[in-house]
């Protein structure tokens, strides 16, 4: 029998070693040729069960939803960034924080138009939104005429008042001498800020107002920034 050369012997030995290593590797992977399930690392989201893909979440970029005072959801960053909801928005102005005045009449076409002005007399910023409440009263505090009506078509907006700043709402009615309504001369106008119960009393110097009969309605508009002058 002929002897194999040393080079042939070494080649056979290396081939056998490679086959043995391949067999050991297949056994270590489960024996069926498939890879084991990957482990979810901390900071990454596991796959969603409904077939959709979850976005990866990280400790610095993930956001949680919080509900602000107005019922609107606001995102709060976990990285330390403070949202407007988390910082706290300015609340509404309370009656005790406001000063009420009635501006100068701006008449036209038989209409009397007075601005009701609310000024922030507090040291904080606050807001007003919507219509004021209003009532004419005599010297004894008895109301004259029905409650004013809200002007149709007025769209409320939030007016932010820094300390010393003002908002105004329109008070309009037909001149009784023109409309023929029954008049009275009020002693004061009671003004109630939006969403408040307490009123502010303003001396009335605007003359007669309609209190009954035809064309006796008094109308109010929503608050706008400024004094209405």
219 in Cβ contact with 151 (< 8 Å): yes
**Cβ-count burial 71-85 (b if 16+ within 10 Å, e if not):** eeebebeeeeeeeeb
- 121 pLDDT band, cuts 50/70/90, is very high
CB atoms within 10 A of CB 5: 9
53-101 confidence digits (pLDDT tens): 333 333 322 222 333 333 333 333 233 333 333 333 579 999 999 999 9
DSSP string, 9-37: HHHHHHHHHHHHHHHHHHHHTTSSSPPPP
For residue 145, the 8-state DSSP code is S
Q: State the distance between the two ends of the chain, measured CA to CA, in whole angstroms.
A: 123
What is the Cα–Cα distance from 97 to 195, expressed in whole angstroms? 14
4-49 confidence digits (pLDDT tens): 444 444 444 444 444 444 433 444 444 433 333 333 333 322 332 2
More confident residue, 66 or 225: 225
pTM here?
0.61
What is the Cα–Cα distance from 167 to 117, expressed in whole angstroms? 6
- 229 pLDDT band, cuts 50/70/90, is confident
């Amino acid at each position: 029998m002929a002897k194999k050369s040393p080079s042939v012997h070494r080649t056979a030995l290396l081939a056998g070693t490679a086959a043995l290593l391949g067999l050991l590797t297949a056994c270590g992977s489960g024996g069926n040729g498939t890879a084991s399930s990957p482990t979810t690392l901390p900071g990454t989201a596991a796959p969603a069960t409904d077939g959709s893909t979850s976005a990866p979440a990280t400790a610095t970029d993930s956001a949680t939803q919080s509900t602000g005072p107005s019922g609107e959801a606001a995102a709060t960053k976990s990285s330390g960034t403070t949202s407007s909801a988390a910082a706290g928005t300015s609340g509404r102005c309370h009656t005790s924080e406001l000063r009420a005045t009635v501006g100068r009449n701006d008449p036209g076409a038989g209409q009397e138009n007075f601005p009701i002005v609310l000024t922030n007399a507090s040291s904080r910023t606050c807001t007003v939104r919507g219509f004021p409440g209003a009532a004419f009263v005599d010297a004894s505090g008895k109301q004259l005429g029905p409650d004013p009506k809200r002007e149709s078509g007025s769209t409320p907006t939030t007016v932010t008042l820094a300390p010393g700043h003002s908002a105004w709402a329109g008070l309009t009615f037909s001149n009784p001498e023109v409309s023929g309504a029954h008049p009275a001369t009020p002693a004061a106008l009671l003004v109630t800020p939006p969403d408040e119960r307490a009123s502010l009393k303003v001396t009335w110097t605007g003359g007669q107002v309609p209190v009954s009969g035809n064309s006796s309605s008094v109308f109010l508009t929503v608050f706008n920034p400024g004094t209405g002058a």
